[in-house]
Amino acid sequence: MDREQVLQLYDAYSDDVYRLACSYLLDPHNAQDAVQEVFLRLLERPCTIHPGKERAFLARVTANYCKDCLRRAKRRPPPPENAAEPAEPDPAPGRAELRAALDSLTPAARAAVYLHYYAGYSAVQIARILGVTPSGVWMRLNRARAQLRAQLKEENRDENDVSTHDV
C-alpha cells in the first residue's frame, strides 16, 4: 500500500484499532504501540484491502498482532512486585465496577464483546475476524455475559451488605 492510503486508513480507523487493542492488551501504552505496529505493517508488507472491508481487515490484523503480543508476554518473566503502576483516571465515575469486570474476562471474550457490542459486528463477521466459528463467537459472548452478570451481581450484593452493616 502506498503512504497516502495508509494515512487515510489511519485517520478513519485508528480509534477502532486502538479500542480493540485495549480490549486485548488491557494497557493503553501497549495498545498505542499496537496501533503503530498495525499501520506500519500495512506500509511494509504488500496487501490488498477490498473496498468496504477496511474495518474488518484492520480488526483482523489487530487481533492477530495482539494475540502475538500476549503469547510473547507469557514467555517473559513477570515484572517485580514492587514496580509501581501509574494510576489511570476513570473517565466516567460509577463505571469502575464494569471496567474491572470486563478486564477480568479472557482476551478472546473481551475481543468478542468489543466487536459485537461496540463495533457492531455480527457473529459471522466476528468469526471471520477472529478465525473461529460463529457458534464459537456466540459461546464466547454467552460465557462473557454470564461472567459479567455474576460478577456485577456479586459486587452489588457486597455493597448492599456493607451498607446494611453501617446502619
Q: For residue range 96-117, what is the model confidence (pLDDT) as tens digits?
A: 777 888 888 888 899 899 899 8
Q: How confident is the model at residue 167 (pLDDT cuts 50, 70, 90)?
A: very low
Q: Is the pLDDT of residue 164 over 70?
A: no
Q: Is the pLDDT of residue 165 over 70?
A: no
Domain boundaries defined on the chain: 1-77, 94-167
Cα angle, residue 38 at apex, residues 32 and 39 outer, rounded to 5°? 95
CATH architecture of residue range(s) 94-167: Orthogonal Bundle (1.10)
pLDDT tens digits for 121-162? 899 999 988 889 999 999 999 999 999 898 888 877 766 665
Fold of 1-77: Rna Polymerase Sigma Factor; Chain: A (1.10.1740)
Q: Are 101 and 152 in contact (CB under 8 A)?
A: yes
